């Protein structure tokens, strides 16, 4: 049996599973199967009925909206902090977004129906999934604002930080073409921003790999959304508002930095 001992459980590395108490986890673990997800693997396409739910461990998955003209824009990013397909908790749910693997790696997979049945008997598991679902909706909502309000260079920095937070490594295989698809922009714009970050020696980009060289500098160039995205990726540590007397990270960042609108050297 997989991940039975506390030591093995500690190796799972998924925020939702790690947030369950030992008893709940012991009851759930035998429903889980370890799967290797490949880069660019499609997990769901729009209209699919959700068959499986995934708890990422070493992979990063994204939800992508596809327009009528084929244009794409990423709406959500899910890594080891979350659950892919959490909407399966609503019986009969059909997928609205194309869901693909951005960075390959392991995940723990469970049949959607089996998880629904488990949650009918496990209030703690249901509560944990709903709490994560709330965090995911918050991310999707903020991404919509970010996509329409912030400059491409800021959005690129924020996106790279979000990937970095979930990848667990400074170097990840992402092409500029893929970045453009995820940000919903032309590749020429991404090329210009990547070149700008390379000139500042903040990142390096070689043969389809991006390496983060100076994370603090990348954070300084990101849009004001990033602190909130970072807090949401650590939702299991407690919501940011609880730590800051009711003022969330987004509000704090906006108040302290006043946004990046006046920076002139960035593309
Ligand atoms: Zn933003």
Distance 150 CA to ligand 1 centre (A): 5
* Backbone region of residue 35 per phi and psi (left: phi > 0; alpha: psi in -120 to 50; beta: other values): beta
Q: Which residues surround ligand 1, an ion (CB under 5 A)?
A: 146, 150, 223, 225
**Which of 41, 80, 37, 236 lies closest to 166, judged by CA?**
80
Distance 90 CA to ligand 1 centre (A): 30
Under CATH, which number does the domain 6-145 receive?
2.60.120.10
Distance 260 CA to ligand 1 centre (A): 10
Check if the beta carbon of residue 48 is closer than 8 Å to that of residue 114: no
- CATH 1.10.1740.10 is the classification of domain 150-257: no
* Domain residue extents for the chain: 6-145, 150-257
Distance 144 CA to ligand 1 centre (A): 9
Q: What is the pLDDT of residue 103?
A: 97
Q: What DSSP designation does 47 have?
A: T
* Backbone region of residue 85 per phi and psi (left: phi > 0; alpha: psi in -120 to 50; beta: other values): left
Distance 64 CA to ligand 1 centre (A): 17
Distance 127 CA to ligand 1 centre (A): 29
CB atoms within 10 A of CB 189: 17
Distance 225 CA to ligand 1 centre (A): 4
Q: What is the pLDDT along the chain (267 residues), one digit of tens a residue?
A: 344 443 344 456 898 998 888 888 889 989 999 999 999 999 999 988 899 999 999 999 999 998 888 889 999 999 999 999 998 887 667 888 899 999 999 999 999 999 999 999 999 999 999 999 999 999 999 999 999 999 999 999 999 999 999 998 999 999 999 999 999 999 999 999 999 999 999 999 998 999 999 999 999 999 999 999 998 888 777 633 443 454 444 444 444 444 444 454 677
Distance 73 CA to ligand 1 centre (A): 14
Distance 122 CA to ligand 1 centre (A): 37
DSSP code per residue over 77-140: EE-TTS-BTGGGGSTT-B--SEEEEEE-EEEEEEEHHHHHHHHHH-HHHHHHHHHHHHHHHHHH
d(CA 236, CA 132): 8
Distance 259 CA to ligand 1 centre (A): 9
Check if the beta carbon of residue 89 is closer than 8 Å to that of residue 129: yes
Distance 88 CA to ligand 1 centre (A): 29
Distance 230 CA to ligand 1 centre (A): 12
Q: What is the pLDDT of residue 8?
A: 46
Q: What is the pLDDT of residue 119?
A: 93
Distance 136 CA to ligand 1 centre (A): 16
Q: What is the pLDDT of residue 22?
A: 85
């Amino acid at each position: 049996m997989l991940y039975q001992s506390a030591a093995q459980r500690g190796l799972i590395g998924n925020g939702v599973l790690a947030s369950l108490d030992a008893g709940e986890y012991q009851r759930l673990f035998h429903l889980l199967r370890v799967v290797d997800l490949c880069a660019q693997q499609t997990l769901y396409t729009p209209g699919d009925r959700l068959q499986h739910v995934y708890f990422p461990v070493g992979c990063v998955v994204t939800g992508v909206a596809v327009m009528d003209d084929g244009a794409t824009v990423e709406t959500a990013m899910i890594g080891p902090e979350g659950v892919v397909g959490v909407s399966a908790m609503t019986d009969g749910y059909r997928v609205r977004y194309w869901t693909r693997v951005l960075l390959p790696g392991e995940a723990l997979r469970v049949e959607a129906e089996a998880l629904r049945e488990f949650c009918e008997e496990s209030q703690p598991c249901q509560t944990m999934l709903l709490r994560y679902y709330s965090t995911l909706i918050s991310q999707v909502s903020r991404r919509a604002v970010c996509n329409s309000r912030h400059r491409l260079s800021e959005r690129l920095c924020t996106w790279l930080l979000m990937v970095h937070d979930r990848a667990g490594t400074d170097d990840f295989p992402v092409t500029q073409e893929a970045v453009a698809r995820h940000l919903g922009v032309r590749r020429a714009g991404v090329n210009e921003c990547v070149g700008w970050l390379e000139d500042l020696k903040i990142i390096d980009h070689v043969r389809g790999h991006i390496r983060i060289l100076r994370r603090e500098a990348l954070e300084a160039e990101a849009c004001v959304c990033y602190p909130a995205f970072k807090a949401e990726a650590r939702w299991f540590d407690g919501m940011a508002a609880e730590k800051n007397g009711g003022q969330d990270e987004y509000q704090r960042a906006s108040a302290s930095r006043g946004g990046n609108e006046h920076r002139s050297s960035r593309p």
